[in-house]
Amino acid sequence: MAAEPYALVLGVAQDGGHPQPGCRRDCCVGPEVSPHLTTCVAVIDEGRFWLLDAGPDLPRHLARINTLGVELAGVLLTHGHIGHYAGLAFLGREAMNATRLPVWAAPRMSAFLAANVPWSRLITAGNIEVRRLDGPISLGARVQAEAFPVPHRDEYSETVGWRVTGSRRSLLYVPDTDGWDGWESPIEEYLATVDRALLDGTFFSRNELDHRDQAAIAHPTVTESLLRFVALDDTERSKILFTHLNHTNPLLRPDSDEYIRVFRSGMEVATEGDIFEL
């Protein structure tokens, strides 16, 4: 029997990556800035891997995983914002020239891909095979993935999160949501069903984007999440890792007071290279 399946964090940054294009603030300029790739997780088992999201850093994500000697077997999308699906372009003939690679997407997301170039070209050229979600997905013999609805800005598609369950453990993946209210079931109920949870940590506080209307790009701040999840017991809090970090987010700096505050609250910050047994 092969080693147990596991999940590998390939990126933790918000859609624009870090440093973010066009940003000339201290968070993105200078020799001390440490780059971070866009949010992505690989689920690995028996010589194959599946990606949770395919953002614009897909080539670099694949470069990081190539040393493991595993083959790309599919992509599971969350929604239609560029940090989560734009990397599909690299599956086309100009780059990988993939052959009917399965891409699972919710109904509106599936329709969006089919109706718009260059994504529709990937379909007609046989590079990808879009599979509309209609229930749990088997990723090989030992891993199952199940999507669930997440409230978020849905200009082009609905948004889903993923619960991935392996032989022994399970992982929750929710990189984007408008907030923890308005869910069909409370986020705490989802947490209770898994061993680890990668959750939306886009902004640490409301004062990060003083030059933009943050109401137009709603996310639960990490400050708000800490206040909510402090009510959980130690075991439940220890499951949580924040990901999808904006370039302004001080959690990108392990030496920041905010980073230390998260750990003192019994939670963590996701890091590229983190491994979670499934």
Q: Give me the pLDDT at residue 271, please.
A: 97
**Total-model pTM:** 0.95
CATH of 6-277, one of 3.30.70.260, 3.60.15.10, 3.40.50.460, 3.40.50.620: 3.60.15.10
Q: Of 266, 187, 275, nearest to 233 (Cα)?
A: 266
- Distance (Å, whole) CA 25 – CA 20: 10
Q: Give me the pLDDT at residue 1, please.
A: 43
What stretches in the chain show pLDDT beneath 70? Answer: 1-2, 209-217
Would you kindly state where each structural domain of the chain is located, as residue ranges?
6-277
> For the segment 95-133, what is each residue's pLDDT rounded down to a tens digit?
999 999 999 999 999 999 999 999 999 999 999 999 999
> For the segment 179-221, what is each residue's pLDDT rounded down to a tens digit?
999 899 999 999 999 999 999 999 998 877 666 555 556 789 9
